[in-house]
């Protein structure tokens, strides 16, 4: 059954995060996902590769760098 497609809730549980976090990662277009009708579906092998590549951490790093930059420059 390792070849099955996972839902947002399934992949959130698999990664140990909240579904809202998965939706945020999807909206940034960082996370590998496939749209099947109106549903988002995932392959664990693709998600595992994405996590190992550091892309999940890079997304959080970007967000934290943006807030830090905004705090430094009051004109932004």
6-52 residue pLDDT tens: 999 999 999 999 999 999 999 986 899 999 999 999 999 999 999 99
Report the predicted TM-score, pTM, of the whole model to 2 decimal places: 0.69
Where is average pLDDT lowest: 19-28, 52-61, 64-73? Answer: 64-73
Reported as a pLDDT band with limits 50, 70 and 90, residue 54 is confident
CA angle 18, 36, 39 (to 5 degrees): 35
Ramachandran angles phi, psi of 68, nearest 5°: -65, -45
The domains of the chain are located at 8-64
- Contact of 43 with 5, CB cutoff 8 Å: yes
Other C-beta atoms lying within 10 Å of the C-beta of residue 22: 24
Q: Where are the beta strands (DSSP E) in the chain?
A: 34-36, 39-41
């Amino acid at each position: 059954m390792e070849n099955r497609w996972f839902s947002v809730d399934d992949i959130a549980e698999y990664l140990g995060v909240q579904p809202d976090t998965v939706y945020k990662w999807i909206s940034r277009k960082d996370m590998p996902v496939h749209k099947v009708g109106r549903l988002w579906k995932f392959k664990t092998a693709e998600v595992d590769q994405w996590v190992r590549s550091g892309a999940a951490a890079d997304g959080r790093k970007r967000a934290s760098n943006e807030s830090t930059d905004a705090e430094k420059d009051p004109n932004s």
